[in-house]
Chain A
């Protein structure tokens, strides 16, 4: 039973354009949501997070939007840069436990 779903295994975006990564969750008890970036053979790197009481959080080129009624969140990266090519994991937490999605591989095209 997947509580956090990333339905797009991969996404290709032109450099300079906006990358939008989507994530859905099923458990309404989650109170915190996070996005992590991961390169091959490395641990995930924290990118940005959002509390369930907010609907938007922005940090530089990264913005996370949360739609609680739809149980949906998205990560926007603008403008996309070559270094953004990586696997992005959506995660949701309640207390100590974090549940990860399967990840979306983002390819930034030159």
Chain B
């Protein structure tokens, strides 16, 4: 159990275009999903937290109009990088948590997707 997928695994786009990354929990309901960004040789930095059906909570310094997050269902969250620029090139990772009581998974553990490598030319 606890499989989280991301699509695409890598994407190359031109500067100024928008890119959508999907994060799916395959075998559990993700009441909360998280989006991280990792720069080379750096730690994972939390960008935002989203709960199903409500607006995402963004970390300080993260532009919510640039990084649009939608958590429309208990198994899917999307991150859209709008008007991408080369400095947005990074490794984006989502994670999901099953916070519902009675679920089979630990409610306090995040399960990570495989990540999406974004390169903006």
A interface residue numbers (CB < 8 A to B): 4, 32, 34, 36, 41-46, 49, 89, 93, 96-103
B residues near A43, Cβ cutoff 8 Å = 4, 6, 93-95, 112-115
How far is B44's CA from A77's CA once the two chains are assembled, in angstroms? 23
What separation, in Å, do the CA atoms of A107 and B113 have in the docked complex? 24
Contact A102 B110 (CB under 8 A): no
Q: From B23, which residue of chain A is reached at the shortest CB distance?
A: A43
B-side contacts of A41, CB under 8 Å: 91, 114-115, 117
Distance A46 CA – B106 CA, assembled complex (angstroms): 11
Residues of B within 8 A of A45 (CB): 112
* Chain A facing B: main interface SS: strand
Residues of A within 8 A of B54 (CB): none
> Which chain B residue has the least Cβ–Cβ distance from A99?
B46
Nearest-CB residue, chain A, relative to B108:
A32
Query: B85-107 interface mask toward A, CB cutoff 8 Å, 1 = contact, 0 = none?
Result: 00000010111010000000010
Beyond the given pairs A36-B112, A42-B115, A46-B111, 10 more chain A to chain B contacts, judged by CB atoms under 8 angstroms and listed by A's residue number, are A32-B108, A42-B114, A43-B6, A43-B115, A44-B44, A45-B112, A93-B108, A96-B49, A96-B97, A102-B43
Interchain CB contact under 8 A, A101 and B43: yes
Residue B109, interface by CB 8 Å: yes
Answer yes or no: B32 CB below 8 A from chain A CBs.
yes
Task: Tell me, in angstroms, the Cα distance from A100 to B110 when the chains sit together.
Answer: 12
| Smallest beta-carbon distance B22→chain A, Å | 14
A36 to B112, CA, bound (A): 10
Q: In the complex, which residue of chain B has the Cβ closest to the Cβ of A103?
A: B43
* A29 to B49 alpha-carbon distance, docked (Å): 20
Whether B44 pairs with A89 at a CB distance below 8 angstroms is yes
| 25 A–B contacts, CB within 8 A, in A order | A4-B43, A34-B109, A36-B112, A41-B114, A41-B117, A42-B114, A43-B6, A43-B93, A43-B94, A43-B112, A43-B115, A44-B44, A44-B112, A46-B2, A46-B110, A46-B112, A49-B106, A89-B43, A96-B32, A96-B34, A96-B97, A97-B46, A97-B49, A100-B43, A102-B41
